[in-house]
Chains A and B, each alone.
Chain A
Amino acid sequence: MKTAFSLLTGKSHSLINAECQDVVLAINDDNYTLGIICDGASTKKFGRRSAQLVANATAKFFKANNDIENFNSNVFCQFINEYFEEKDLDEEVCGSTLIFVIIKNGRYLLGHLGDGAALLQQDTDFCVASLPENAGTSNSTFFLPSSSAYKLLRITTGDLKEKFCFVLASDGISPLLYDYKTKTVCKACYDLADLYRKIDTEQMNKTLEHNLKEVFSKYTSDDLSILMITE
């Protein structure tokens, strides 16, 4: 299995020398593959740090509990909340969205809290596997840590076909990847998925970096992050 990703600080942050609020993690363990995208809330005091902590905690959780058939949202969210509590941090000053997908033995578990999107190609067609929580309305995105997170974390599971590709994207990119009305996934996703099957991860990382910089950044001032997992 291959995982490629890239992230780029958006103009809204680079112009004021602020750091990118997105964090991406990809783990290829012997037993499982895990991809994580977190987008720190710029409205919180520790937005960037929150994204890093949520990503780290998620990776830590699945390292110890990668039996995806017995995943429990409540236990997972409790783990994240406690991870912040141990550092004397809470939802007052911290907040991050989270999208993760863990793949093991031909099955996947997709978790999503907040905005951004997850797209999945099985055989030939892409579909929107998980939509942003806010659906375009303001002030309605949710973050971790949160005492009510277990109610908000949306979980999808399923079998993967032999040929598949996950594309996870933060909210800077996701509106460009699918039509919110028809849920049609853009041609660019098909092009990138086809390409990744032909080239290695190092080249794909460079390709993603190039496209974030040269194409996606023209349409948004937000931070940009994208992660791809394919067979």
Chain B
Amino acid sequence: MELFQITDDSLILDGNERKPICICIDASNEVDFNTLTDISNSVKKIANDICQKVEMQMKIEFCIVTYGEECRVIRDFAFLKENEFEDLEIQKIGGAPNLKKALEKCVDLINSRFSFYDVADISSLPAQLFLISSGKTCEEIGEFSNRIISAEKILKVLPFKIGNGSCEILQSLTRSGEVHSDTGEFKKLFEEFKKSAENISGSANEIFKWYELRQEDLDEFDEEEI
């Protein structure tokens, strides 16, 4: 017997618009425990801030992928639930970082989400891929970076370097070649993230309050340096 299936448009979806955000995190041996803790806290803060506004909660879909020698989908695309990440701790995967494998996984997830949007007649803005990487990879990215750049209209990569690796690999993933790092470029990074957040949603600046907190830390650091 064929079962009755309700249609997507018979549900309340707060408009047929989605804003997919994928966060890809290097959890290989190139990244230390403290940095992973710091990243976990930032992800938690972002998630909590999104949940503060139901409008945002019902539009932004969040996906988290971590990688080392292997790749793990911590969370596939879906709306955020309140307190969902309260106990989030990004676990170290270890091994050498396989950035290529991670990017392939992220692109697969984003593609499959876009396929669903097509079927459900949902419009979306370009997916944002926040790539938090040591800048190292054990497998050459090669032509894959060209594919990512050519898909810029549907996927924007925001690379964020957190280790000692090379910027070149990450630069190859964006048309502008811009890479942000933790060596004095935090302020720039925050601005870039804010800008991209504005593109995601007019009110999404709220999401990125945590940058301001981090920026205060940086200001203190700057003063110490002086």
Contact = CB atoms under 8 A, between A and B. Distances in A.
B4 A195 contact: yes
Contact of A186 (B10, B51, B79, B84): B10
Contacts of B11: 176-177, 186-188, 215-216, 219
Q: Taking each of A139, A172, A184, A216, which has the highest tally of chain B beta carbons within 10 Å of its own beta carbon? A: A139
Contacts of B8: 215, 218
Contacts of A222: 81, 84
Contact of B54 (A12, A180, A184): A180
A230 B200 CA distance: 43
A43 B87 contact: yes
A221 B75 contact: yes
Given A15-B73, A177-B11, A221 B78 contact: yes
Contacts of B76: 11, 15, 221
A175 B4 contact: no
Interface in B1-19: 1, 3-14
B177 to A, nearest CB: 35
Contacts of B51: 136-138
B10 A191 contact: yes
B86 interface: yes
A43 B81 contact: no
Interface string A168-207: 0001100111111000101110011001000000010011
A95 B13 CA distance: 29
Nearest to A11: B76
B164 interface: no
Contacts of B12: 175-179, 184, 186
Interface string B80-92: 0111101100000
B57 interface: yes
A66 interface: no
**Chain A interface residue count: which class?**
35 or more
A187 B53 contact: no
Contacts of A175: 12, 54, 58, 79
Interface residues of B, number: 33
Given A210-B3, A215-B5, A221-B76, A12 B84 contact: yes
A220 B78 contact: yes
B116 interface: yes
Contacts of B14: 179
B196 to A, nearest CB: 23
Contacts of A210: 3-5
Contacts of B57: 136
B199 interface: no
A173 to B, nearest CB: 9
A139 B82 contact: yes
Interface string B49-89: 00111100110000000000000010110110111101100
A56 interface: no
A43 B82 CA distance: 11
Nearest to A137: B52
Contacts of A221: 75-76, 78-79, 81, 84
Interface in A116-172: 134-139, 141, 171-172
Contact of A187 (B10, B83, B86, B120): B10
B52 A171 contact: no
A198 B116 CA distance: 31
23 contacts: A12-B81, A15-B73, A42-B84, A43-B86, A136-B57, A137-B51, A138-B82, A138-B83, A186-B12, A187-B10, A195-B4, A203-B3, A207-B4, A211-B4, A215-B8, A218-B120, A219-B79, A220-B78, A220-B81, A221-B79, A221-B81, A221-B84, A222-B84
Given A137-B51, A219-B13, 7 more contacts: A138-B52, A139-B82, A177-B12, A179-B12, A215-B6, A220-B79, A221-B84
